[in-house]
Chains A and B, each alone.
Chain A
Amino acid sequence: MSEKKMLDDQHYEEMIQEESICINDNIVYEAPKSALYDTPMHYCPGCGHGVVHRLLAEVIEEMGILNDVIGVAPVGCSVLAYNYLNIDMSEAAHGRASAVATGIKRVLPEKLVFSYQGDGDLAAIGTGETIHTCNRGENILIIFINNGIYGMTGGQMAPTTLPDMKSTTSPFGRDVITMGAPLKMTDLVAQLPGTYYVTRQSVHKPTNVRKMKKAIQKSFEYQKQNKGTCFIEVVSNCPSNWKMTPVESNKWLEDNMLPYYPLGDLKTPDGK
């Protein structure tokens, strides 16, 4: 183990100046500039919402569809998504994002429309809208952030809360006998004929982030071809309401969430 020494700012600057390779030609990764505003996001440190916003912005820039995309923000922590994404967006009442997205897509069929929803939004108050949107096979993309909890309102139990998981409304842990088992929305919508591409991803590791980006890319491609509803679940974290550090929350996610919500494609065009 090499001994680490904390460089003070002056040393750091000297180090950069010595022989800087930080020139534009050498950039391998930089934050999206046009689709993502340069404002700090209000999300708690380490929250998966930020990563998904960034990936959406990256895909929108890379596909050159900045002026062709319309998003629908939910009620939940990501209610202010339109403050960060430099695209046309609409707000929807709690749970109704996929219904609003349906309306937008039907009026403007040449636009690429997506809804961005949490698990309280999509799987509790909006279950009906979600299932019917998928059943009708609306040509939209639904992004479903599953952090197993109501984040914005302070950590109440969601339909996706794991068995025995504690929340403010299940202080002794979720009892599946009285509260039911966690709802696997993604498995449910994969059964419906209207969905074309259904997948479960996460953003807690670099490889997963890369896969998630590909899933968004594919979904917009399919939407261009009018194939039907694309549905991406993102198994995500909520360090604040899980009462963990971000690093711990990702570890917990891997150990507890992923066995119940296994990652991978549930429905693909070639039927694998």
Chain B
Amino acid sequence: MAKVKGDIVIDIEKCKGCELCIAACPQGTLEKSKHVNQKGYLYIVKVEDNCTGCANCALVCPDAVITVYRQTSKAKQQVAKISNVTGDLTVTVKE
């Protein structure tokens, strides 16, 4: 199965750098930045492009900092699976 693609947007000025999102992320997508925001907190940044959009980070964030996106897989819908040719053949169409 194709990997689900997700992404997040971080409102860095509201982040308090508590690191709970780093601990909750199963992918290791997040890390602390080297810079501080206006409040003086080391905010969170994305360091890997492997987010799956599971929203774990947003669920544990006490300051409602993170918005999570997940790519809808409409474009890659499987329409037919043809068996017994020489191998399996999967046909897909793009919308």
Q: A residues within 8 Å of B by Cβ?
A: 2, 4-7, 9, 12, 15-16, 20-23, 25-32, 36, 40-41, 43-51, 54, 203-206, 209-210, 239, 245-247, 250
A7 contacts B45, CB within 8 Å? yes
What interface size band does chain B fall in? 35 or more
12 contacts between A and B (CB under 8 A): A2-B48, A21-B6, A21-B7, A22-B9, A27-B68, A32-B64, A41-B63, A46-B16, A206-B24, A239-B18, A246-B19, A247-B23
A26 contacts B72, CB within 8 Å? yes
- Residues of A contacting B35 with CB < 8 Å? 9
B69 contacts A206, CB within 8 Å? no
Q: Is B76 an interface residue (CB 8 A)?
A: no
For the complex with contacts A2-B48, A40-B39, A210-B59, 18 further pairs of A-B residues with Cβ separation under 8 Å are A4-B48, A6-B31, A6-B47, A7-B47, A12-B46, A22-B7, A22-B69, A26-B7, A26-B53, A31-B64, A43-B62, A45-B41, A49-B62, A50-B62, A204-B60, A205-B24, A209-B60, A250-B20
B68 contacts A50, CB within 8 Å? no
Q: B residues within 8 Å of A by Cβ?
A: 5-7, 9, 13-14, 16-20, 22-24, 28, 31, 33-35, 39, 41, 45-49, 53, 55-56, 58-72
- Residues of B contacting A44 with CB < 8 Å? 16
Count of chain A to chain B residue pairs whose CB atoms are closer than 8 Å in the complex:
118
- Residues of A contacting B24 with CB < 8 Å? 205-206
Q: How many Å lie between the Cα of A161 and that of B55 in the bound state?
A: 33
- Residues of B contacting A250 with CB < 8 Å? 20, 23
- Residues of B contacting A239 with CB < 8 Å? 18
Across the interface, B16 reaches (CB within 8 A) one of A26, A45, A48, A210, namely: A45
The 4 nearest A-B residue pairs measured at CB = A50-B62, A46-B18, A31-B64, A45-B16
Across the interface, A246 reaches (CB within 8 A) one of B18, B33, B45, B67, namely: B18
- Residues of A contacting B60 with CB < 8 Å? 51, 203-206, 209
- Residues of A contacting B22 with CB < 8 Å? 247
Given contacts A205-B24, A206-B56, A247-B23, contact A54 B62 (CB under 8 A): yes
Across the interface, A28 reaches (CB within 8 A) one of B14, B41, B55, B63, namely: B55
Across the interface, A29 reaches (CB within 8 A) one of B28, B33, B47, B67, namely: B67
Q: How many Å lie between the Cα of A148 and that of B80 in the bound state?
A: 58
Q: How many Å lie between the Cα of A46 and that of B17 in the bound state?
A: 8
Q: How many Å lie between the Cα of A47 and that of B66 in the bound state?
A: 16
Q: How many Å lie between the Cα of A146 and that of B8 in the bound state?
A: 31
B6 contacts A28, CB within 8 Å? yes
Across the interface, B47 reaches (CB within 8 A) one of A4, A20, A30, A54, namely: A4
Q: How many Å lie between the Cα of A247 and that of B20 in the bound state?
A: 6
A247–chain B nearest beta-carbon distance, Å: 5
Q: How many Å lie between the Cα of A7 and that of B22 in the bound state?
A: 16
B66 contacts A29, CB within 8 Å? yes
